[in-house]
Amino acid sequence: MDYEIGMRRGDEFTGKVALITGGARNIGRAISRALAAGGATVMINANTSREAGEETVAMIEKAGGKAALCMGDITDPAAVKHLVDETVKQFGRIDMVVSNAAIRAETPFAQMSFEEWKRVTSTVLDGAFLVSQAALPQLIKAGGGSLVYIGGLTGHKGALHRAHVVASKGGLAAMAKAVAHDLAEHNITVNCVVPGPIATVRGLPGAPERPDHRKTLPLVGRRGEPQEIAAMVRMLCGPDARYITGQSIHVNGGVLMP
């Protein structure tokens, strides 16, 4: 398996700018690098992972690409406005927005506080709403573009102790369908990529050790790599995917076949 899939150099995004939330590490890092490999200039957003974000920028620049990091909380409308304004100030436009920011958390429903519920759902859903809406005038000005939401397998099959995550990720899939209707007239496609079990670096705040019931391998016999999710995002943002919108596209090794 060529795990550099999605990282091959190309020019389909030459002159275009991508804004990626949660773009500093794991799947977000892979997406940032994949779009940069296609020629896009990339603005990476992170809330707490400054060092990882700077490392991702350095990776892109070492490969000959162009990127910058803008720290900020995407649940804060003022911070989102600053993120979009800073992207336009530095790079002149926005053509693609990828909403990847999320919080991993597991708590039994009966013990889940409203504060924890809001922290997870706000990051995933409110963040995607705020960033999409704030970037919309720039996408329209550019003559069209792409919104991609990074959903989750749990949003389609449920999961133990993850009611907030399930609701949020399922909500992204529904949001893609709705927003696709609203934005089709502006030549903006809206899709949701749903990763299956992916080999990522654990140990993030709120991310416990993976329990036994989540260790089963997909049909293909392995976990996916972040680059394999990034390759799908790159395709959806590219010129060959302009007839794809409102879809939830599963990249999961056969663990779920909806």
Please, are residues 154 and 165 in contact by the beta-carbon 8 Å criterion? yes
Say what the pLDDT of residue 215 is.
63
The residue with greater pLDDT, 204 or 255, is: 255
Is residue 253 pLDDT above 60, yes or no? yes
pTM as predicted: 0.92
Is residue 54 pLDDT above 50, yes or no? yes
Average per-residue pLDDT for the chain: 93
User: In terms of C-beta density within 10 A (0-12 exposed, 13-18 middle, 19 or more buried), how is residue 202 classed?
Assistant: exposed
In the chain, pLDDT over 90 holds for what percent of residues?
A: 88
Lowest mean pLDDT segment, chosen from 6-10, 105-109, 152-156, 203-207: 203-207
What is d(CA 4, CA 7) in angstroms, rounded to the nearest whole number?
Answer: 5
pLDDT in tens, 180-238: 999 999 999 999 999 999 987 654 444 445 554 456 789 999 999 999 999 999 999 99
Is residue 2 pLDDT above 60, yes or no? no
Following DSSP, what letter does each residue of 5-48 receive, concatenated? Answer: TT-S---TTTT-EEEEET-SSHHHHHHHHHHHHTT-EEEEEESS
Report the pLDDT averaged over residues 108-127: 97
Cα distance from N-terminal residue to C-terminal residue, the chain: 25
The CATH class of the 17-251 domain is: alpha beta
pLDDT in tens, 57-96: 999 999 999 999 999 999 999 999 999 999 999 999 999 9
Please, are residues 130 and 77 in contact by the beta-carbon 8 Å criterion? yes
Is residue 20 pLDDT above 90, yes or no? yes
